[in-house]
Amino acid sequence: MPTDIVESRVDAHIGSIQLFRGGTGPQLVYLHSAGGETPYELLTDLADDFDVIAPIFPGFGESEGGDDIDSMEDAVFHLLDLWELLALEQPAVSGVSLGGWMSLELATRYPDHVSALVIVNSVGLYLPDAPISELFGRPPNELAEMLFADQSHPIAQVMHEMADFAGDVGKEVEIPIELIIPMWKALGATARLGWDPYLHNPKLRGRLRRVTAPALVVAGALDGLVPAAHAEVFATELPDARLEVMSNAAHWLQMERPAELASLMRSFLQS
């Protein structure tokens, strides 16, 4: 029987933070992507072997305090506050896309706060020959094609329906409001962190050498947002890292291929 992931709140100095947690074992923090997702299938799988902690970043979901964070420096200090509030010692940290960037910013500044890293389709770098695709201002159907390898995935289908609705206001399309509002809210919160410079820190690449934790770099072979060259740089320039490329997977592989990702993470973290 899958381990339950329980929702709660933690009072940080910037406000109430939404938190999902479950399981027992070594601590594993999951930092979500710009979508603000809570991938229950992935988290419940990992909770069989780990104490899984998945905070929702300020400005996403029901977490407060988004107006107080508009830089990666602010983001790192918020994570430090969470480490103290949750009595996290030296957890493993996994981050997807925007969460991967946050993980790296934390690990380069405070390497003793992270025992292991798993970064999945991470942003954070600027590579002139392999720029990150434009996220902001794209219609939902184009976002779906960037994020999902399988356009029949339920979330991808909703995003296509949103585009159909926008194109024909007379068309009857049933779109769950509980999916729409968090999606647009998440894009706004992401823009506060990654609008200019666009989804990267110009100094991050030069700081990767400071990471002391072993790292697993995971990339979706069909990622339409982050080119493969970014994962290759992370895997090459982090001091102790290896690269895993998942075929038939795109940017949101944590939603599309949760069992495969959980298996990769478990194998790496338990070694």
CATH of the domain at 127: 3.40.50.1820
d(CA 122, CA 235): 11
Residues spanned by the domain of 254 = 6-134+194-270
Lowest mean pLDDT among 42-46, 99-103, 193-197, 223-227: 193-197
As for how many domains the chain has, the answer is 1
The mean-pLDDT minimum among 46-50, 61-65, 186-190, 225-229 falls in 186-190
Judge whether 72 lies within some domain: yes
At 77-94, the pLDDT tens digits run 999 999 999 999 899 999
Diameter over CA atoms, the chain: 56
Q: Which long-range contacts (CB under 8 A, 24 or more apart) does 83-87 make?
A: 83/113, 85/10, 85/11, 85/12, 86/10, 86/19, 86/53
Residue 257 falls inside a structural domain: yes
The whole-chain average pLDDT of the chain stands at 92
Which DSSP symbol is given to 128? T
8 A C-beta contact, residue 44 and residue 5 = yes
Average pLDDT of the residues in 244-254: 96
Radius of gyration of the chain (CA): 18
Residues 6+ apart with CB under 8 A from 169: none
DSSP per-residue letters across 63-90: ---GGG--SHHHHHHHHHHHHHHTT--S
**Within a domain: residue 177?**
no
204 within domain boundaries: yes
**Residue 264 resides in a domain:** yes
Between these two residues, 107 and 169, which has the higher pLDDT value?
A: 107
- b/e map 85-94, b = 16+ CB within 10 Å: ebebeebbbb
Identify whether 253 is part of a domain: yes
Per the domain annotation, does 113 fall within a domain? yes
- C-alpha pair distances (Å), 256 with each of 150, 168, 218: 8, 29, 14
Checking if the pLDDT of 165 tops 80, the result is no
CA distances from 1 to 8, 25, 38, 47, 48 (A): 22, 17, 19, 11, 9
On whether the CB atoms of residues 65 and 58 are closer than 8 A, the answer is yes
Pairing of β 51-55 and β 15-22: antiparallel
Q: Identify the CA nearest to 120 among candidates 190, 215, 38, 43.
A: 215
Residues 111, 210 contacting (CB under 8 angstroms): yes
pLDDT tens sequence across 14-51: 999 999 999 999 999 999 999 999 999 999 999 999 99
List pLDDT tens digits, range 118-138. Answer: 999 999 999 999 999 999 888
The per-residue pLDDT for 158 is 87
Is residue 158, in this structure, part of any structural domain at all?
Answer: no
